[in-house]
Amino acid sequence: MKKVLLVGELGEIARSLNECLADDFQVQLCSKQPENVQAMVKIIKPELIIICQIGVEKVDNVLLMWLHEKYSRIPVLAITTSDKWKQCRDFYKREMFDVLFRPVAKNELLKKCYELLGVKSGNNTECKTADKQKKKIMIVDDSALLLRSMKSMLEKYYDISLAKSGEQALNMIPREKPDLILLDYEMDGMDGKSTFETMKGNKSMRFIPVVFLTSVTDRRSIYSVLKSRPEGYILKPPDEERIRETIEGILGGKGI
């Protein structure tokens, strides 16, 4: 296994990253103090360094400058929510430094790691395994336009199946075995509430998490949606970041 040094505050995010990487890499956690990183780099000789950071502080610039000066051959990946990390590419050649913005799906993280390590995903069996680990998401909506739009947003992160009615979804679920369903609440015919209630009455479907898609925004209508006790709800038009955050939060540690 290739050695990865994971640098950052040793909290929940770092632990989630470690869990996602542990099956594919030998991971060593390290706090971001420069002296600690310097010692760990010399001891474990990592082949990839991942910096988990929300913003960009002075200590991060010091650390990057030191790595570039002493260990420029070690690729660096920053995982963050801040655009400021893009500026840090100036320290490195493009192929030795990159940034991923949270939330990050596990397969996306693994692919980027292998890419920085110089392993082409098309020739790498481990990356193919990561692809197979994509979670299955079923999207149910009576709008063909919305189905196409959401599939386009999510298909690089998940294995997507589409259903244009509640009846079709119920027929597809035993075959597709989705890990989570995004279900339109206000469909014509068999609406989302009826579809959800039918699922809850079926032993093979009752434990599949459901997130309602809804265009209602007033408090009384939202309360009506939540009375069914779905795993969550997302307002239309759907936002990619909001959808991914919801999915990864429900699936529990499958993304970062």
The predicted-structure confidence for 83-141, as pLDDT tens digits, reads as follows: 666 656 555 555 688 888 777 788 888 888 998 888 755 444 444 444 446 889 999 99
Q: Is residue 256 part of a domain?
A: no
Q: Greater confidence, 173 or 1? A: 173
SS3 163: strand
Q: Are residues 244 and 139 in the same domain?
A: yes
Domain of 16, in residue numbers? 2-131
- 3-state SS of 66-121 is HHHHHCCCCCEEEEECCHHHHHHHHHCCHHHEEEEECCCEHHHHHHHHHHHCCCCH
Note the residue count of the chain. Answer: 256
Q: Are residues 95 and 186 in the same domain?
A: no
pLDDT tens digits, residue range 135-162? 899 999 999 999 999 999 999 889 999 9
pTM greater than 0.75 (yes/no): no
* Count of structural domains within the chain: 2
Average pLDDT over the chain reads 81
Question: Using CA atoms, how far apart are residues 26 and 256, in angstroms rounded to an integer?
Answer: 18
Question: Using CA atoms, how far apart are residues 213 and 197, in angstroms rounded to an integer?
Answer: 16
CATH of the domain at 13: 3.40.50.2300
Which of 80, 8, 150, 22 is closest to 162 using CA atoms?
Answer: 150
